[in-house]
């Protein structure tokens, strides 16, 4: 399967190809890890709609995801699934050191200020 461009159709196979959790014992654990992206989407949506930022929970999900997926592939998956929240996502990835060097997205100053205080 060609993964040059991520689509909703090839996303599950792309995620499975780059899943690197040696302790995974079944499909349920893989699904749980992939669903963390949905949780991030909800958390970013809540931040943008209500101003409620749960920065530690977002960081926790991102750290777990980067521990079980190949780095570049996960970054591609996150930008694909969270395209409506790329500014918020980019700010967290910058903080964690995972922001692609070619990315020129403007960072969210409010989130940066919160992350600096951690």
pLDDT at 2: 66
Model confidence over 52-93: pLDDT tens digits?
Answer: 999 999 999 999 999 999 999 999 999 999 999 999 999 999
Flag whether 52 is in a domain.
Answer: yes
Residue 19: phi and psi, rounded to 5, are: -80, 125
- Using the predicted structure, report yes or no on whether residue 32 has a pLDDT greater than 90: yes
> Burial level of 11, CB count in 10 A (0-12/13-18/19+)?
middle
Residue 6 counted as domain residue:
no
Contacts of 85 (CB under 8 A, 6+ apart): 41, 44, 45, 48
SS3 19: strand
Please indicate, yes or no, if residue 108 is contained in any of the structural domains: yes
Domain membership of residue 34 as a residue range: 11-116
* pLDDT > 70: percent of the chain: 95
Provide the domain count of the chain: 1
Integer Cα distance of 82 and 42 in angstroms: 10
Kindly tell me if the per-residue pLDDT of 109 is higher than 70.
Answer: yes
């Amino acid at each position: 399967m060609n993964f040059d461009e991520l689509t909703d159709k090839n996303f599950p196979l792309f995620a499975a190809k780059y899943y690197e959790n040696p302790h995974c014992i079944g499909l349920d654990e893989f699904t749980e890890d992939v669903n963390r992206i949905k949780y991030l989407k909800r958390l970013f949506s809540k931040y943008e709609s209500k101003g409620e930022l749960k920065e530690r929970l977002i960081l926790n999900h991102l750290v777990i995801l980067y521990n079980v997926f190949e780095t570049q592939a996960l970054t591609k998956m996150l930008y694909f699934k969270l395209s409506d929240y790329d500014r918020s996502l980019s700010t967290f990835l910058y903080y964690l050191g995972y922001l692609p060097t070619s990315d020129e997205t403007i960072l969210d100053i409010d989130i940066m200020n919160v992350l600096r205080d951690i």
